[in-house]
Structure 1
Amino acid sequence: MYRIYGHETVLNIFKSVISQNKISNAYLLVGEKGLGKRFMAEYFAIMVNCKKETEKPCFKCSSCLKLMDKNHPDVFFIEPEENSIKVDTIRYITNEINIRPYEANKKIFIIDQADKMTVSAQNAFLKTLEEPPLYGLFILIASQQQKLLPTIISRCNIVRFGKESKNTIKNYLICEQNIPEKEAEVLAHIADGNFDQANKLTDNEYLNFRKETIQEIEKILTIRGFEVIEEFEFFDKNKDNIEEVLKIMLYYVRDLLIYKVTKDASFIKNIDFLNKIQQMESQLTINKLNNIINKIEQFNSQINSNVNYQLAVENLLLDMAGGL
């Protein structure tokens, strides 16, 4: 069963287009990674092809059951291969969309991480979007809308996803992950409205990784001079997971900056490290913390380009350790 936590605005949009029978041929679900866009895309697909006349979805008709089992002949799930969606995949979609649905009202293509389409793939997809058959429905999911061509965006109805409330995440953790209420309260605060982050925080392996990463940045911030280069070992060990390392570090430094400026613990994301944050912020200036945040963000934008990884990490470490 698809139980929904939050998403009231998005659900109301879907209910409205279904009840008025005004389903467009393309929707773009936009929001940061981990907010439940894929889940709601699937839910919308179930609603669209549900055979019941009212109160869609019923979760009982043949269409609902097949979609819940991911084996509906008229619903296709498209995902990146090797971190991109290539033009061959779009050609496959183009061929399939020209074949009428076998049993449903709509032939639906859910394109996850649509912002990872190559430029050539986007141009090829644009032709399909311009003149789709009436029975075709595209549901695109993207966390970085700016990576899609403006011409593609203009042909989609945009549905925006925001962070959920702390209470929503707390209820999700209690009901779906069987987390005790007090622990769920803390994890929901750290998750900051993000379902994926909440799920990660229930995994002991991830919790150990997060703790190790925070301890590493605390260590870096206490080192002065070229000795900091020795910390490359940590980044080398975690090279395959570097984006998550940088995200954890970025949030932690932002917590240091926010607490230094406000002295208000309610604004702190890493609330379980509050005592350490309170100890460390006095040792760092606002200027230095701002500089570190900028350098981490700059490094994060470099890692997907063809840069020398070790050199880039060493430059980051020196920037983090030096200056005021």
Structure 2
Amino acid sequence: MSFQEIVGQDIAKQMLQNGLRNQKISHAYLFSGPAGSGQMKMANSFAKALVCIHKGDEACGECIQCRKMEHGNHPDFHVIEPDGSSIKIEQIRDIQRIFSYRSESGNRKIYIIKDADKMTIQASNSLLKFLEEPPAPAVAILLTENAQSVLPTIRSRTQPIVFTPPDPQKMAQILGDEGFPMPLVRCVVHIASDLEECRELLAQNWFAEIRNVMLQLGKESAGRGSMSLITAQQKLFKGGLGDHIEHVFDLFHLWFKDIIHIQIGRHESIVFIDQLESLSKVATTRDMQHWISCMSLAAECKKMLRSHVNPQLCMEQFLIGVSG
């Protein structure tokens, strides 16, 4: 992975590459931003450039140091991630022990801490001492979705690099150029967290199937009848799509949002643009407050699924609520 392969995050890339170009590298960085914004990819690209023997603003990808990074066996590069629900003091002590020996190549040692906000207090305090007095030249890269959850004294000793949410329009353009069907692309870029996840979903036959079923359910549930319950049972649960109900709720959330966009005249923001005629008809059957409550219901049902509530029960309650 190189900087050029990362979509968006131009400000973050510029800051890091300027540091590489001018040989002004901080001893610690704090990458913060929403899930799917590419923090880990950027951290890997930065680490690779740091160890590259050419010492430029981009890794060459060909030298021995770059090849070791690509193969995951570089001795001066380590990744720490939560052990269970937290990062424990023993994990920080392990990295301190490893870093007590100088690099044979003369490079800085580099470590990435994923979900840095999940460090225990003891781990955070141990890391703080390590940041202040590293036994050997080192670069720390801390990753988090919530910078404010990281110990203030750690934040004050790191260079902040802020990541923004991925741009759906940029991702849609790339995926469209790759030949994926645009009706599916317009949906998936609002559901998946990054390009790789988008491609994974688009490669699955079931994603197109659940989109079609959701469209049918959306139209039927506006009719106040029980047909949507029958369709859900036959096409989702008996049709082998029961494992993907969470994505059905994601798609419904976009569907209701489109309806609201129609009601306020924002047609340029519609995701299901190929369904404009059907959306326009459904939009007239209820007022805006109803559709807003439907969006909330979709989010609540998705939350219930994650709490291991029966998927079929969730869907039935949802469709009843949508029908009003």
**TM-score, structure 2 length as denominator?**
0.75
Distance 1:104 1:295, change over 3 A: farther
Rounded Cα–Cα distance in structure 2 between residues aligned with 1:314 and 1:188: 24
Alignment correspondent of 1:191: 189
Q: CA contact under 8 A between 1:232 and 1:310: conserved in structure 2?
A: no
Distance 1:247 1:184, change over 3 A: closer
Deviation of residue 248 (structure 1)?
A: 2.9
1:124-203 → structure 2 map (5 Å cutoff): 124-132=123-131, 133=134, 135-145=137-147, 148-162=150-164, 163-164=166-167, 166-167=169-170, 169-171=172-174, 174=177, 179-180=178-179, 183=181, 187=185, 191=189, 194-203=194-203
Deviation of residue 10 (structure 1)?
A: 1.7
Distance 1:263 1:61, change over 3 A: closer
Rounded Cα–Cα distance in structure 1 between residues aligned with 2:216 and 2:154: 42
Rounded Cα–Cα distance in structure 1 between residues aligned with 2:214 and 2:160: 37
> What CA deviation, in whole Å up to 9, does each residue of 1:265-312 have, x standing for no partner?
x201333444432332222321011112223334555665xx562498
Alignment correspondent of 1:287: 289
Deviation of residue 102 (structure 1)?
A: 3.9
> What CA deviation, in whole Å up to 9, does each residue of 1:186-227 have, x standing for no partner?
736852594245323531335335415634751673374899
Alignment correspondent of 1:67: 69
Alignment correspondent of 1:57: 59
Q: CA contact under 8 A between 1:6 and 1:168: conserved in structure 2?
A: no
Q: CA contact under 8 A between 1:169 and 1:198: conserved in structure 2?
A: no
**Code of the aligned partner of 1:313:** C
Rounded Cα–Cα distance in structure 2 between residues aligned with 1:43 and 1:25: 17
Deviation of residue 15 (structure 1)?
A: 1.2
Indicate whether 1:251 and 2:250 are aligned: no
Rounded Cα–Cα distance in structure 2 between residues aligned with 1:232 and 1:189: 23
Q: CA contact under 8 A between 1:254 and 1:293: conserved in structure 2?
A: yes
Indicate whether 1:262 and 2:265 are aligned: yes
1:4-15 → structure 2 map (5 Å cutoff): 4=5, 5-15=7-17
Rounded Cα–Cα distance in structure 2 between residues aligned with 1:105 and 1:278: 61
Structure label with greater radius of gyration: 2
Distance 1:51 1:130, change over 3 A: same
Rounded Cα–Cα distance in structure 2 between residues aligned with 1:72 and 1:131: 21
Distance 1:37 1:278, change over 3 A: farther
Rounded Cα–Cα distance in structure 2 between residues aligned with 1:108 and 1:8: 23
Q: Which runs of 5+ in 2 are unaligned?
A: none
What is the alpha-carbon root mean square deviation over aligned residues? 4.0
**Code of the aligned partner of 2:130:** E
Alignment correspondent of 1:207: 207
SS of the equivalent of 1:110 reads strand
**Code of the aligned partner of 1:73:** P
**Code of the aligned partner of 2:318:** L
> What CA deviation, in whole Å up to 9, does each residue of 1:116-170 have, x standing for no partner?
x3x53x6413421343215222223333445545554444333222223734652
Rounded Cα–Cα distance in structure 1 between residues aligned with 2:220 and 2:162: 38
Rounded Cα–Cα distance in structure 2 between residues aligned with 1:273 and 1:65: 48
Q: Which runs of 5+ in 1 are unaligned?
A: none
SS of the equivalent of 2:139 reads strand
**Code of the aligned partner of 1:18:** L
SS of the equivalent of 1:76 reads strand
Q: CA contact under 8 A between 1:169 and 1:194: conserved in structure 2?
A: no
Pick one of 112, 115, 120 that aligns with 2:114: 112
Indicate whether 1:309 and 2:309 are aligned: yes
Rounded Cα–Cα distance in structure 2 between residues aligned with 1:72 and 1:206: 39
Identity %: 22
SS of the equivalent of 1:262 reads coil
